[in-house]
Structure 1
Amino acid sequence: MSSLRSRLAALMIPLVLCAGAVTPAHAQPPSPSPDATAAKKEPLAPEEARLRALRRAAERGNHSYYDADKVSADGRSRQSVSKLATITAFPATPPQPDTGNCLAKEEAKTAEGWTYNRLLWCQTVGYRANYTKRTSTGTVIYMGSVEVTWEMVAMGSNTQRAIRVFWRPVAGSVRYVGWTVGVPSAQPFAVHPACAEAAPYCNNLGTPARRTWAAWNTTTDWASWDVTSPARSGDSTREKITSPHWHLVTDATSLEYPEIPAGRTNDWPFRCDSADYFSRFGQAFDQACVFTDVIPHLQYSLSSPKHAAVARHIQEAQLSPDTSYPIESHRKVIPGRWEPDPDPEYGSLHRVEGSGTIAAANTTWKDYACNRNGPYNATTGLPPKTPQQEAEGWQCDEYPFRSTAEGASSGTWDFSVRWVPSSQNGSAGGSLIAFFFDDRILHVNDPFWVKINP
């Protein structure tokens, strides 16, 4: 099996944040780096930021799933994302096992990195600093290069409008290339994250991490910084959304090599909000920052003893809507099915307020179909419960969910109802609520999908 260094070798050139421009004839020159001091971006409107993030996620195949079978009866999830979602302060080191699982992905070894879920992003990538000197006549002479492989992790939060960025070199990965004189092991190298947008829209906190190449080669410590995005002054919206970007900046300059240009990675997006409708077990979670270039979806399983009947209902509603109740006079189209590469937005579900008018209207129309009244009758509505179902207290389940804009009262989409055991209906509903919290699904703003597993 190839080593990490050899697997990253092919990535070193196209992903390099180069720090110099003159190389010997036998060496392949690295790609030019963007100017690390480029002008700040104008903030994106929330709608444009959301659409861009969805397109990025679809193009890259970033899918953050939430397994309903791992939510216990009290609504607490065993999934790692749930543990991250309730952390009130950032840890000193990246959280495990999420970090290890994320860095193990091949997609993490790209210029874009890998969005593991709405609360974690990671990257393992190669960097090269090209060292040059200028002669008294102005000629630039290439002296050699230093290559290093680093790991980077960014962690979101459901408790503050900030993300934490962690960075460290892979121990032993520093290499000195092309040097005919002594290698620059005592030369400094510094890194720090920076915002693509100007303050106060986005703020990077902390000082650059600076050590010599020799010191970086032996350390296993993580450097960390916080990047914040406060609510904008005068924003009267309920969520107070901001959509900033951050990147990493490198600095390999010294007194001996003062002309090495700064390097800069790609810009990576995140979203912050101050939605006041998130709470769990009596605690409010009214500030958050999450990673949006990932497609969130909820998974139910046909084999689950907790919600198999609900999963079967959703699957058949998605795949065979015309066989579902209520019966309509047109071909039924029911949204929300998760596809490997869904078209951004089309057929997605959108959360609405559980105590709002849309959810109440969804309940009204569901009850029409379940009770065979309103626009439905004994032929088009759901057949009555069997005596056994009646004795066991089965309930009328609806899909799409009551708490979505695409629910039973939607004038655009159709819906399905079916009798299911009350315990399974409650379990599935509890998992949906946990998913909304852990993946920070905002009202209307965040599209999501549902997948049914065997």
Structure 2
Amino acid sequence: MRKPIVMRGRGRPLLSAVVAVLALVLGMGVPAASAADTATPGAGSGQRAAADGKLIGKPVILTGEGVDKKAQRPRSAWRAAPAPKAKTAPLSPKQAMKEAMDEARKAGAESYLDTSKVPLNKDGQASAQAATLGLPPTDLGDEPPAQDTNQCLDRDGASSAQGETLNRWLWCQKLRIGVQYYKIIDGEQVYQGTSSVAFHAVAVGNGKQRVLRTYLQAQYDSVEYDDWSLWDRFFTAPDLKMFILSDCAEGYDSCFATGSGIEHTFGEWDYHREWLHWDIYSDEAASTSPDKVLFHHWHFRFGGSGGGYVGPDATTADRTFRCDSAGYFSQFGVDYPKACVNYEVIPHLQYDISDTRVASVARHIRVAQDTPDKTYPIELEPKHIPGKYSGSRDDQGLQRVPDDGVVAKSNEDWKNYACNRTGPYGGDQAWRGLPPYDTSTQDCDEYPFQSTEQGASSPNWDFSVRAVPNGENRSAGGLLRWYYFSDRILYNAADPFWVEIRD
């Protein structure tokens, strides 16, 4: 990578020098410190002891509206960046899901597949044209996928403290990272100024390897020197340095990052436009679960140096990702045996009533979710049917099971009892089952789906059946399978999903 040209004072060195000389002539040096600008160093300050005249610093982060824009920001707008924590063991599935739920609720993060846009063939399966939709990233380059990245960064959530999760495969954030500098004068910390850079950050999962690739791009001409004296703004602050890299919060025996830190002066960061990237790997040997599932945290780590600077490193907020070695994902003859995905998201499937390919199935699910007591089979107690998407993970979701497993087979048996008025819905109980329908043109559709733990045989949840056109039933089934693949829904209770019916 070619080293950026150092251009102080935003490319106007002569003008900068003239301004600086005028500043000296006019007595515009370091401003007098107010009571709010001084603090006595101590154990609670998080700084190492420093001799008089030395700079010390506090790494800080800014998110929110306008982080890309140049503006003088008050010190109170910044929040202190957390110090790096000791490496820990991988998260348990229960702990990871709770953390992910909390973060997803805060950010309103939802991963979904708009099934109305997925092309199907005559058999109701995803057609070859669907290869442009929902396929997981595999061969990642030096830059993140342009279309998805731009779509993500254009959303309001990209500037939030949690960032924006476009889907399970891509997360992004706009943020400003910097350092607040203090000088030790007569044993006290005297605030000098804040230097910062605006960054675009992206994390992209992988559908064939247990790796998450993190990207970072400094925004051109975005460096700001808030509160520095005029002299230091041009002759001190631009020469101070900041480094950054990506890292995993868990121990090296389960998760590790590749690549070293990238360091530039603030003057150089101002003209550095290339995407930087680091890979974070998950070691399947650290997991004993059937699909070798592991949950991890990742973050950017950064700090400063130069000019006699003394100070600690810091990190951005931890983000959660999940890696697996589930060997049951394939599409168009291609296997996707391993993967890592962004996990701070509420995964949900969408069906549209306006989509004529699945309209009857969508109506059935809406009735089952909203008015379960108006559905067949008729039960003697109020019915409770789970899986409705409401934007919260607090509601009971659905968990996927193998299509050829014991639970799916039992779900099919109970569905058939209700559809054909047999078993517990036969004989003198036949009035509870689905009324006769034309089996030559209609199928008996069930919700929750046969491929879920909450299906018709569930002892804890009720179900609904309805006759729908057989073509629509096949199409809805094909779109469900496509959703399982595109959102990487695993066979376990730690990967619930929800169903949303739109008009």
Contact 2:58 2:179 in 1 (8 A): no
Q: Which residue of 2 aligns with 1:304?
A: 355
Q: Which residue of 2 aligns with 1:411?
A: 459
Matches within 5 A, 1:332-371: 332-343=383-394, 346-371=395-420
Q: Separation in 1 of the partners of 2:258 and 2:323?
A: 16
- TM-score, normalised with respect to structure 1: 0.87
1:121 and 2:168 correspond: no
1:242 and 2:279 correspond: no
Which stretch of structure 1 is more off in the superposition, 74-83 or 420-429?
74-83
Q: Separation in 1 of the partners of 2:83 and 2:471?
A: 58
Q: Which residue of 2 aligns with 1:46?
A: 93
Q: Which residue of 1 aligns with 2:262?
A: 209
Q: Separation in 2 of the partners of 1:329 and 1:228?
A: 53
- TM-score, normalised with respect to structure 2: 0.79
Matches within 5 A, 1:131-210: 131-134=181-184, 140-177=189-226, 178-181=228-231, 182-210=235-263
Compute the displacement of 1:376 (Å). Answer: 0.8
Distance of aligned partners of 1:442 and 1:354 in 2 relative to their CA distance in 1, 3 Å threshold: same
Give the RMSD, CA atoms, in angstroms. Answer: 2.3
Q: Deviations over 1:6-62 (max 9, x none)?
A: xxxxxxxxxxxx97159xxx96365433223x3122322122212221232123321
Distance of aligned partners of 1:397 and 1:228 in 2 relative to their CA distance in 1, 3 Å threshold: same
Compute the displacement of 1:442 (Å). Answer: 0.7
Q: Which residue of 1 aligns with 2:80?
A: 32
Q: Which residue of 2 aligns with 1:71?
A: 118
Q: Which residue of 2 aligns with 1:82?
A: 134
Compute the displacement of 1:92 (Å). Answer: 2.0
Q: Which residue of 2 aligns with 1:91?
A: 141
Distance of aligned partners of 1:27 and 1:332 in 2 relative to their CA distance in 1, 3 Å threshold: closer
Q: Separation in 1 of the partners of 2:195 and 2:130?
A: 43
Q: Separation in 2 of the partners of 1:93 and 1:49?
A: 29
Q: Separation in 2 of the partners of 1:337 and 1:142?
A: 53
Which runs of 5 or more structure 2 residues have no equivalent in the other structure? 1-46, 48-55, 60-72
One-letter amino acid of the structure 2 residue matched with residue 383 of structure 1 = P
Identity over the aligned pairs, expressed in percent?
Answer: 39
Compute the displacement of 1:140 (Å). Answer: 4.7
Q: Separation in 1 of the partners of 2:211 and 2:463?
A: 39
Q: Separation in 2 of the partners of 1:79 and 1:142?
A: 56
Which stretch of structure 1 is more off in the superposition, 403-412 or 372-381?
372-381
Contact 2:368 2:447 in 1 (8 A): yes
Q: Separation in 2 of the partners of 1:79 and 1:416?
A: 33
Match of 2:424 among 353, 370, 375: 375
Greater Rg over alpha carbons, structure: 2
Q: Separation in 2 of the partners of 1:33 and 1:329?
A: 57
Q: What secondary structure is seen at the aligned counterpart in 2 of 1:434?
A: helix
Q: Separation in 2 of the partners of 1:202 and 1:62?
A: 25
Distance of aligned partners of 1:78 and 1:92 in 2 relative to their CA distance in 1, 3 Å threshold: farther
Match of 2:328 among 277, 286, 297: 277
One-letter amino acid of the structure 2 residue matched with residue 368 of structure 1 = Y
Contact 1:54 1:292 in 2 (8 A): no
Q: What secondary structure is seen at the aligned counterpart in 2 of 1:99?
A: helix
Q: What secondary structure is seen at the aligned counterpart in 1 of 2:252?
A: coil
Q: Which residue of 2 aligns with 1:423?
A: 471
Compute the displacement of 1:214 (Å). Answer: 2.5
Task: Count residues with an aligned counterpart.
Answer: 422
Q: What secondary structure is seen at the aligned counterpart in 1 of 2:146?
A: coil
Match of 1:225 among 265, 273, 278: 278
Q: Which residue of 2 aligns with 1:8?
A: none
Q: What secondary structure is seen at the aligned counterpart in 1 of 2:410?
A: helix
Contact 2:58 2:312 in 1 (8 A): no
Distance of aligned partners of 1:21 and 1:405 in 2 relative to their CA distance in 1, 3 Å threshold: closer
One-letter amino acid of the structure 1 residue matched with residue 218 of structure 2 = P
Q: Which residue of 2 aligns with 1:433?
A: 481
Distance of aligned partners of 1:197 and 1:104 in 2 relative to their CA distance in 1, 3 Å threshold: same
